[in-house]
Amino acid sequence: MTDRPLSETVLEGLAERDLVVVSNRQPYAHNRDDGEITVSRPAGGLTAGIDPVMQRTEGTWIAWGDGDADFEVAEEGRVRVPPDDPSYTLSRVELSETDLERYYYGYSNQALWPLCHGMIYPVRCDGRDFERYRAVNRRFGEAVVEESDEGSLIWFQDYHFGLAPRFVRQEMPEALLTQFWHIPWPAPKTFAVCPQADALLDGLLANDLLVFHVAEYVENFLECVASVLSEATVDREDGTVEYDGSTTTIQSFPLGIDAERTESLASESGVWTDLAERYGIDGQTVALGVDRLDYTKGIPERIDAIERFFEEYPGRRGEFTYVQNGSASRSEIESYEYLQQRVDTAIERVNRRFGTATWKPIVRIDEMLPEEELYALYRHSDLALVSALRDGMNLVAKEYVASQVDDDGVLVLSEFAGAHEELGDGAVTINPFDTQSFAEAIDRALSLPTEERNERMAAQRRRVAEYDLLTWMNDVFETALACETDREQSVSHV
Ligand code: GDG
């Protein structure tokens, strides 16, 4: 993480209170490997970004202990981390098989995930799953109450915790509660299919501050509150909701990345030749797609567009390679298993149709790449194809931009990704549902004159560097602290 400090206001605020982070995934996992206990860190921008802040502020992080040796090394679920130089407490919550099946694979990922992405078809809002989601949220809420006091700043991450804030509020009326929702929020008509809509809104409105990536999700959320909770008062101008005797501020701050770190990783590009050789990436022109295998990311749509591109522009055959880096995700869920089959079939089809003895049109990398390899791939790719059908933000788009240290890549970006709001101007915009124009956009992106390509990328890089992870955190914490000041003032005026 960059060495710049958090803002004065935030540092002062955090000096007076403990920061308590609550997320489903933990920052460190302990596992048994051939009898030895090893520690691993999950890949992913946010966990890696919050960790240094926790180290500096010495708070507590509450998360699901998913490592098989997690509870061996912990005392009453608590372990000091980072393991090499402990500075804060990781408090682990144990989940059973049934918890996982119903809270994680069930309600979180088969009800909330598709619903928030506006995809009604795979939505399953099973009441039994919801009861387990509620029970697990209560357990996380109890852990929060145990680990914090009324002066703590409690920060929930994501859609796994739609109800936990209410449980905490009931026990700690004065606590400062904030939540960041990493995925979109749907339009009222979409949210209306959810039988548990009122309970979810009631849970989320126990926060003092609820943050989304972009303004559209805030507007949708406010509209949903107005249509579901008749007793709530929504102020669309101020972005506030009065409900159950308190005020929740709803704001958008687009999550940033650690651009300095990304640039420096991308600059050490010594691993590229090895990587290209290992996977057989031999086209002169390289395009990449990096995503978890998820139906929201538009992977089959992207492969269809690549197939159309080779049909329409036969001159590109033999010189253009598309690299699909996609690790399996949530494969216990049927819709994900089906997606995997669609992607496998589509890639095989394109490679069979167009491949030759010396050239493979689509190269797939199914495993998680080590960071230095991922960033080498970003840097050496002429295009990034981000074709999400819907995406809260899409950090891959930002990581790709920050890796273009020579300003020579082009981002081909779906208009339906949250990242489009910040990066749309410099990107070649696509509608992933429109195969023909997507294929034409790939050709257009490849044909951009060098000067234009450089100008577009330089402007995008500036934006990603200016509004980075640290600026984002300052915005979130400063707004949370301001909510508390507002609350105190309104109490003193009563
Ligand atoms: C959710 C929202 C929102 C991927 N492959 C490898 C690898 N990754 C890392 C990327 C990136 C992260 O995973 C993926 O982040 P995204 O933002 O693209 O997508 P989601 O996982 O769906 O995240 C999304 C995000 O939350 C944050 O709020 O943007 O909209 O859906 O950081 O680099 N990392 C490594 N090897 C890989 O092979 N090391």
Helical ranges in 78-125 per DSSP H = 97-99, 113-116
Q: Which atom of ligand 1 is nearest to the CA of 325?
A: 38
Predicted TM-score (pTM) of the model is 0.97
Domains and CATH numbers, the chain: 8-256+470-487 (3.40.50.2000), 259-466 (3.40.50.2000)
Let me know the angle formed at the C-alpha of 104 by 99 and 105, rounded to the nearest 5 degrees.
105
Amino acid at 77: G
pLDDT of residue 437: 98
- Ligand 1: distance of its center to the CA of 249 in Å? 27
Q: Which residue minimizes the CA distance to atom 9 of ligand 1?
A: 44
Q: Which residue minimizes the CA distance to atom 28 of ligand 1?
A: 182
Residue 224's Cα: distance from chain center in Å?
A: 22
For ligand 1, whether the C-beta of 368 sits within 6 Å is yes
Token pair 């399996």 in the structure block, residue? 328
For ligand 1, whether the C-beta of 396 sits within 6 Å is yes
For ligand 1, whether the C-beta of 328 sits within 6 Å is no
Task: Count the Cβ atoms, other than its own, within 10 Å of residue 315.
Answer: 8
Q: Give per-residue pLDDT as tens, 315-373.
A: 999 999 999 998 888 989 999 999 999 999 999 999 999 999 999 999 999 999 999 99
For ligand 1, whether the C-beta of 397 sits within 6 Å is no
For ligand 1, whether the C-beta of 59 sits within 6 Å is no
How much is the average pLDDT of 168-176? 96
396, 414, 469, 476, best to mutate for ligand 1 pocket (most atoms within 8 Å of CB): 396
pLDDT of residue 26: 96
CA gap 33, 36 in Å, rounded: 5
Listed residue (421, 434, 429, 493) closest to 464, CA to CA:
421
Binned at pLDDT 50, 70 and 90, residue 155 comes out as very high
State percent of the chain over pLDDT 70: 98
For ligand 1, whether the C-beta of 403 sits within 6 Å is no
Indicate whether 188 pLDDT > 80: yes
Q: Give per-residue pLDDT as tens, 221-255.
A: 999 999 999 999 999 999 999 999 999 999 999 99
How much is the average pLDDT of 184-205? 98
Q: Which atom of ligand 1 is nearest to the CA of 419?
A: 29
Task: Count the Cβ atoms, other than its own, within 10 Å of residue 337.
Answer: 13
- Ligand 1: distance of its center to the CA of 488 in Å? 38
For ligand 1, whether the C-beta of 5 sits within 6 Å is no
The dihedral region occupied by 292, where left means phi > 0, alpha psi between -120 and 50, and beta the remainder, is beta
Q: Which residue minimizes the CA distance to atom 19 of ligand 1?
A: 394
- Ligand 1: distance of its center to the CA of 379 in Å? 17
- Ligand 1: distance of its center to the CA of 220 in Å? 24
Q: Which atom of ligand 1 is nearest to the CA of 370?
A: 39
DSSP-assigned states of every residue in 293-326: S-GGG-HHHHHHHHHHHHHH-GGGTTTEEEEEE-
DSSP-assigned states of every residue in 348-402: HHHHHHH-BTTB-SEEEE-SPPPHHHHHHHHHH-SEEEE--SSBS--HHHHHHHH
Q: Which residue minimizes the CA distance to atom 23 of ligand 1?
A: 394
pLDDT of residue 473: 94
Binned at pLDDT 50, 70 and 90, residue 44 comes out as low
pLDDT of residue 425: 96
pLDDT of residue 106: 98
For ligand 1, whether the C-beta of 391 sits within 6 Å is yes
How much is the average pLDDT of 129-143? 98
Listed residue (258, 277, 238, 317) closest to 52, CA to CA:
258
- Ligand 1: distance of its center to the CA of 398 in Å? 10
pLDDT of residue 48: 78
For ligand 1, whether the C-beta of 457 sits within 6 Å is no
- Ligand 1: distance of its center to the CA of 73 in Å? 29
Binned at pLDDT 50, 70 and 90, residue 484 comes out as confident
CA gap 400, 426 in Å, rounded: 13
Q: Which atom of ligand 1 is nearest to the CA of 397?
A: 18
How much is the average pLDDT of 125-146? 98
How much is the average pLDDT of 386-408? 97
CA gap 164, 143 in Å, rounded: 10
For ligand 1, whether the C-beta of 240 sits within 6 Å is no
pLDDT of residue 1: 58
pLDDT of residue 281: 93
CA gap 305, 385 in Å, rounded: 10
CA gap 356, 321 in Å, rounded: 12
Q: Which residue minimizes the CA distance to atom 38 of ligand 1?
A: 368
The interaxial angle of helices 450-466 and 395-403, nearest 10 deg, is 120
- Ligand 1: distance of its center to the CA of 394 in Å? 7
Indicate whether 494 pLDDT > 60: no
Q: Which atom of ligand 1 is nearest to the CA of 213?
A: 28
How much is the average pLDDT of 42-68? 86
Q: Which atom of ligand 1 is nearest to the CA of 374?
A: 36
Q: Give per-residue pLDDT as tens, 299-319.
A: 999 999 999 999 999 999 999
For ligand 1, whether the C-beta of 419 sits within 6 Å is no
41, 113, 278, 290, best to mutate for ligand 1 pocket (most atoms within 8 Å of CB): 290
pLDDT of residue 487: 81
- Ligand 1: distance of its center to the CA of 292 in Å? 7
The interaxial angle of helices 197-204 and 127-147, nearest 10 deg, is 10
- Ligand 1: distance of its center to the CA of 396 in Å? 6
How much is the average pLDDT of 452-463? 98
pLDDT of residue 269: 64
For ligand 1, whether the C-beta of 412 sits within 6 Å is no
How much is the average pLDDT of 376-392? 97
For ligand 1, whether the C-beta of 45 sits within 6 Å is yes
The chain-wide mean pLDDT, for the chain, equals 95
Binned at pLDDT 50, 70 and 90, residue 268 comes out as confident
